[in-house]
Chains A and B, each alone.
Chain A
């Protein structure tokens, strides 16, 4: 009996054990081993943020300068950092977009002590340079104020002097000086395809230096996806609609592969060509990124689509197709002569019989093809003669006579739309081609003539021009064989009475005008006007002719701007003498004429 009972008990236990076994509801923590170790490396390459209020000086002037730099940094925190200086009740209400107004001061802020212990800080003759957007581009300024005043002092609620200064009465908008932009931001160039998708167009962006180098690639991709700056909107194409970045761009190991993972809408990027173009765009947009030291992998929807060593790709797929260093040329006694420069001096690529009566000229080459545009004197009038040839331009076509004419520039000499040149004639902007020397007017929407100077960017999709003393940049594209200029962006510059402009880099212009003291000068200026620096000053006469070689990542060359003032050609303030004329191929110029209208062949 007892045996039976115990057996039944055992059976019940076994059955209940069977019934109980299964996946348990709760278990103890099971350790599977050590996980990957965290790296303790701290931020490297990230710059210091601007001084905060508590770090700032108690001197009102230094405090005011810190205040005007406070907004620098990532856009999300701009208002927070700016408001951090302001007493609580006067803080600005953050506006959507977190746009920062960039101003240029021509003098330090003026501090006036008030009887109540506070100080009034006044900034006068403020130039509104632009607004820094969250996407790092600088748009046209919206504010028009030329002076701001704000009160600085100790907050009444502060317990003691340790509390530091406060902005008691702030300016109405978010302000940052252009020097703060230069100090706390790093300029980045990203590229978009032009409207015909045959050339990349640079777009200048600013990334706060507080953003570590590890995040730069992600930021660049975000910019690319976000689209071009406003003024380039019509002349470049955006990435296909629906393109997005999947996650961040991971930081590769040293010498490892940088992976860019994009999501695209179905049907987009269907062809290999599309992929190549996108890859090309990304490789070039990341060219300054130190993390891209080996391969770049483009993934679409997690699928690897393109892998290439970035440096090789860039070498094999240049943006501009420039092969040789720029060569200087000048017009001496009606003929185009090579001028001595730092590099080789190629012979003049113009047939000698055509090389006469030249007033000014523009030469541009693409591989062995050379395009030439000559402004020749024809009695009292001028005539444009254009032509193209392999190595040497022999045949020229002549246009109709024109009364007043500026320097011709080549916008581009290849592409589906054919070579396009630009020239300012009779106060208007005109285009021409190698096989068509007739001038076709180019309409500049929203800008009133007369146009006095024009410069063409290396990419062939941007121009800079001077109209009524104002400096403009605009994107261009070809519509039905004619050049169409997009909305112009006026740049703020300290110079006035501008006379000449040319591109000095992918995102830099050189512009000639008068300084505040009335003397002529040449300034280097960013394509968005935020950075301005003197290139040549104290030129005795107005600069009538200005030519530069646009610096670019492909062929870096020492190529200072060439200009002409009072019919004397200069390079970096030094006149170009007759001895610098290279006369090997054709005989020495007659008379004692010195070179004029200097320019670069590139």
Chain B
């Protein structure tokens, strides 16, 4: 149990490649923090610096109040789950889980009871004598988790632990991980490129891009109030629609429609952001509305996605699957004015 603080942390692999750029982030004790971003955004590097697997070029990382920059991984009391699981192929499940305890000189009897307990929690009790190659992907993943939890570390680091599982198992394990976090009451730092994992699991989410932290906030806030176009586009599926508009006073004019903004942004040009799920099938005649010419439609059972054009702009809308639409139709949809976003095209920052 510990808090983790990144203070202006920078990692350069060479003069030209900066993996993490001036990252400041403080993670509270027992928090489930998710670092999310596309591959190469520096999220894994940030995690590996905390684990002690990468040197820190500049700045400080603290666990509780202790600066760990120069501390060896073994002294940091963190446990890590790797994307590849990194199980020791020549050791049994039991030995894999016991390894960290053995290295720390834990008495043999204590190792036995700790490993058996972890095995019970993770339903691995019957597999303890097996070798990793005799296990399924999901079982291997649980061994990797078990190896981390037996040690009762201060911080859990998880580097894309679910990405090698199939879709169904991933959802199931996602829920199990959350339960485990509640049960253990330990700080979790979780790296993923999957925004669904980030939204569902994180107490807070840190969105990164090109080594730069974009926004840290709870999932709801990230979704409702993205600070810039990057975060707005990254979180949410399908992606938020971005429509260039010209603005005069309060009126915003896109290529296919215009609407009145709740307040004057003081910009001549803007980019309007509307999430696909924020279109309304029923709306009063004086409300803002768009005229979508449907080009492709996808029915997913619970949802229906319409892909088409409004004026000259591409647009995606999520509508009720009961709505009868065929390709080529023109559908009139209202815009939910409460959920509107406006970005400054120069800085890409949110202004509304």
Do A and B originate from a single complex?
Answer: no
Binding site for A on B (CB under 8 A): none
